[in-house]
A = this chain, B = another copy of it.
Amino acid sequence: MSSRARSKPAVRPGGRSARVQQAVHAAVRELEAEQGRGALTVPAIAARAGVTPSTIYRRWGDLHELLSDVAVERLRPESPPEDHGDLRADLSAWATQFLDEMGSATGRAYLRDALLGDPDGSNAGQCSAYAAGQIEVILDRARRRGEAVPGVETVMDRVVAPMTYRILFRPDGLSPQYADDLARSVLPPAP
CB within 8 Å of B: which residues of A? 112, 115-116, 121, 124-125, 127-128, 156-158, 160-162, 164-166, 168-171, 182
9 contacts between A and B (CB under 8 A): A112-B116, A115-B116, A115-B168, A124-B170, A127-B169, A128-B169, A157-B165, A157-B182, A158-B162
Chain B residues whose CB sits within 8 angstroms of the CB of A124 once the complex forms: 168-170
Which of B115, B116, B125, B166 sits near A161, CB closer than 8 Å? B166
Are A157 and B162 in contact (CB-based, < 8 A)? yes
Interface of A is mostly: helix
Are A160 and B165 CB-contacts (below 8 A) given A115-B115, A115-B116?
yes
User: How far does the alpha carbon of A182 sit from the alpha carbon of B161 in the complex, in Å?
Assistant: 12
User: How far does the alpha carbon of A128 sit from the alpha carbon of B169 in the complex, in Å?
Assistant: 6
Chain B residues whose CB sits within 8 angstroms of the CB of A170 once the complex forms: 124-125, 128, 156
Chain B residues whose CB sits within 8 angstroms of the CB of A127 once the complex forms: 169
User: How far does the alpha carbon of A156 sit from the alpha carbon of B166 in the complex, in Å?
Assistant: 9
- Residue on B with the closest CB to A113? B116
What is the distance, in angstroms, from A36's C-beta to the closest C-beta of chain B?
A: 13
User: How far does the alpha carbon of A128 sit from the alpha carbon of B127 in the complex, in Å?
Assistant: 22
User: How far does the alpha carbon of A125 sit from the alpha carbon of B165 in the complex, in Å?
Assistant: 11
